[in-house]
Amino acid sequence: MKKFDYKNWILGGLAVIGASALLYYFIDKKDAKSKEKALIPKKDLENILKDLDNELLGVYLNLPGLIRTHKELTGSIDNEDIKEFVDSRFHISNEIQSIANKVYEKHSATEEAVEKSCIIYEKTDKDIRDLNNLIKKNLARAYQGIEPQLSIDDPDFLTADLTLEILEEMYATARMASYERIEEIEKRGIKRDLSSNEFLDQIENMDNFIEEAENELFQKYGLYALNQAPTKVIRNAVIKYSQIDPTFNRHVLAIEKEHKSDMAMILGGEFSANKLEMLRNRLKKGENVAKESSEEFKNETEEYENKNSLK
């Protein structure tokens, strides 16, 4: 029987914010049974650690707000108690574990191999030691309620409101693509059943359908006119505005919460006709926003590109 990664599927492959970590440093590591013995080459290990730190941006940004809110409501100042509460209430450790596994898989590595290699390399290698310390420091600061200070260069036309609009539409697009894909599968007589290998085989490539829908969205908003990946542009904008305005970060969390809830209903066959109509209306709203702003995007994108070409 295949093991279905429910949480990653619900996230829809978007990974706009992301959250992963070198778990043996930060949370209780689950027992791992791996036959891998060889050390990971240093360059490959550096790339893994850099990816982990990059994917942890969501944790660095989201945790401080949760920590501060808990402190304000309870008056607690014990960092260990706060960490335990946040982990139990928001399942941070489980989410970190799930997405960390994706990073290891991307690099054809295992958690055990990464752990073993880090322990050995960091004794004598400053680069590996610095990367490990950076991850530990950033996460420790996040659990203390301290947000990271990042320098982000984003196009001026991506205002906070527009960033939220695009982010919300990205998630809505993922939900619609998932809904339509499952509906298509069911029309072929395949029952929606997470214990069925036949059904799991059909939704295994769901990320491809979501990515295709995303590409159309990015094209519509003119993000492909920039010389960097659209998902990176949006993620950088989210990071920038989350640092500036705590309200912005609350909006992001609300968008993500709605997305996860709706995706769970879609997967379970409980997505009502009313919810579907609301989703369609949300996507229509996005069409109008993009259409009204297309000329402004074009002009400001050209200015942004000209400015960066001179650097």
Whether 180 and 266 have beta carbons less than 8 Å apart is answered as no
275: left (phi over 0), alpha (psi -120 to 50) or beta: alpha
Whether residue 3 has pLDDT greater than 90: no
Domain spans in the chain, listed from the N-terminal domain onward: 6-143, 160-309
164: left (phi over 0), alpha (psi -120 to 50) or beta: alpha
Rounded to 10 degrees, the C-alpha dihedral 112/116/118/124 comes to -170
258: left (phi over 0), alpha (psi -120 to 50) or beta: alpha
Q: Round the average pLDDT of the chain to a whole number and report it.
A: 77
Residue 42 has a pLDDT of 94
Residue among 177, 182, 184 at smallest CA distance from 193: 182
Residue among 180, 202, 181 at smallest CA distance from 193: 202
pLDDT digit string (tens) for 117-175?
999 999 999 999 999 899 888 888 888 888 776 655 567 778 899 999 999 999 999 99
Question: pLDDT: is 53 or 286 the higher one?
Answer: 53
pLDDT digit string (tens) for 77-110?
677 777 788 778 777 787 778 778 888 988 999 9
Residue 21 has a pLDDT of 31
Distance CA 258, CA 210 (A): 17
Model pTM greater than 0.75?
no
DSSP state of 249: H
